[in-house]
Chain A
Amino acid sequence: MVENLRFRDATLAKRVVEKIHNLASKEGTVKICHVCGTHEWTITHFGLRSLLPTNVEVIAGPGCPVCIVPASEIDEAIQLASKGMVITCFGDVLRVPGSKMSLLDAKAEGADVRVIYGVSDAVKMAEKEPNKEFVFFAIGFETTAPSTAVEVIKQPPENLSFLVSHRLIPPAMKLLVDMTDLSLNGFIAPGHVSTIIGVKPYEIFPKRYHMPTVVAGFEPLDVLFGVYMILKQLSEGKPCLENEYMRAVRWEGNVKAQELMRKVFEVVNGNWRGLGTIPSSTFKLRRKYENHDAHLKYGVKVEDGVDIQPGCKCHLVIIGKIKPTECPLFMKTCTPQKPVGACMVSIEGTCRIWAKA
């Protein structure tokens, strides 16, 4: 397919970088924020920051869904495991620190914690072992939530419940623009979240906040053109909403997935690790499906968790206020082998990406 043919063309990259330098020379400091771990991976892996002019900074916002799961929800999953439930989860979440331990620590102590590729694996396991109670720890942004909705609506086995920990990206972006000391000048909106929600939910950013916003894909050229499009909007003084990733993102998004999510979930306020409560930023199962809601089914009470361990600066890294290298623990006591903060755990965590670069 064309995907691999010219989306990494070095000549095109050189030329767009020239254009970026030309536009940036007429601007002061420009701070562009992306909110996707995969964008951070592309930027770091391909060394894109080194190609940008010194006055153009690209920072990583809270785009790693694993990093923002609050410790209290990890604690709840661990407590459920300690009561004999089988916890099924994505591999990324296994080592995320709870208040006292991670799910991996719990597994080492004998809890039945199983890594799965997708929620359908949890359904198959629950069907195969009807004598055990299974919980799917449903983390992830709008990209992942539709798959949970698919299985919830299909009447899953009675012995499977869902610990819903999905989070929504646009409310987090709103929080970032409201932090005026971050002084953002533009957003690169997340490509794969947008395949589901479409482009429309970002309209508020150029309209209300005069913030250029470009949905971009994940090839290095996608990101460079995203930066170019934001600079172009700034130079013309016309902030607007553009879709660079049109091969995967339709303006209206995936309507089928949106419909399913609406049927299965209601939107409620959510706690984000290191960021506190963000209004209307998480999903909860609707009443119709509450017999599969692990919160209600097992009624485990958890205290407020310890989101940030002493010395850890994840709460500042996650909003791009500091770089991972500015955290005193980075690659000293906090390493990919022994992470202290959540940003060092997932392959989409900013600290983890920088550690491997």
Chain B
Amino acid sequence: MCLAIPAKVVNIKGDGAQVDFGEGVLREVNVTLVDAKVGDYVLIHAGYAIQVLGEEEALETLRLWNEILEAAR
């Protein structure tokens, strides 16, 4: 139920947006809950975008993981 799938915002019209789930799978979703712009990746749950995914934070996570693994090797 709490499954949420990342998708890329293709265009926005009011509360609605068309998002791409990858390989051209497009769907209309509601973006009332987020401040998303075209090109952003958002998490979609039951037809509603619930959060904008941060590319910087994703890279930061990978950096931190490597830092943890490098520590005291």
A interface residues (Cβ-Cβ under 8 A, vs B)? 1-3, 6-7, 12, 15-16, 19, 36-38, 63-66, 90, 92, 117-121, 139-141, 143-144, 146-147, 150, 190, 192-193, 195-196, 221, 225, 228, 244, 246-250, 254, 256-257, 260, 346, 348
Contacts and interface: CB of A to CB of B under 8 A. Distances in A.
A146 B47 CA distance: 12
B61 interface: yes
Interface residues of B, number: 32
A118 B47 contact: yes
A119 B50 contact: no
Which of B3, B4, B30, B47 is packed against the most chain A CB atoms within 10 Å? B3
B65 A221 contact: yes
B65 A225 contact: yes
Given A147-B30, A192-B2, A250-B51, 9 more contacts: A1-B53, A3-B58, A66-B1, A92-B1, A120-B30, A144-B46, A147-B47, A228-B68, A248-B51
Contact of A346 (B1, B35, B51, B65): B1
Contact of A19 (B47, B62, B69): B69
B58 A190 contact: no
A117 B47 contact: yes
A196 B49 CA distance: 11
Nearest to B47: A118
A251 to B, nearest CB: 11
A120 to B, nearest CB: 6
A90 B58 contact: no
Interface of B: 1-4, 6, 8, 30, 32-35, 41, 43, 45-48, 50-51, 53-55, 57-62, 65-66, 68-69
B53 A3 contact: yes
A36 B41 contact: no
Which of A119, A246, A348 is packed against the most chain B CB atoms within 10 Å? A246
A146 B33 contact: yes
A143 B4 CA distance: 9
B39 to A, nearest CB: 11
Contacts of A1: 6, 8, 41, 53, 55, 58
A173 to B, nearest CB: 14
A118 B48 contact: yes
A35 to B, nearest CB: 10
A143 B45 contact: yes
Contact of B46 (A7, A15, A147): A147
Given A1-B55, A143-B50, A228-B68, A248 B62 contact: no
B68 A19 contact: yes
A260 B33 contact: yes
Nearest to A229: B68
A65 B45 CA distance: 14
B30 A190 contact: no
Contacts of B48: 118, 120, 146-147, 150
B73 to A, nearest CB: 9
A256 B33 contact: yes
Contacts of A92: 1
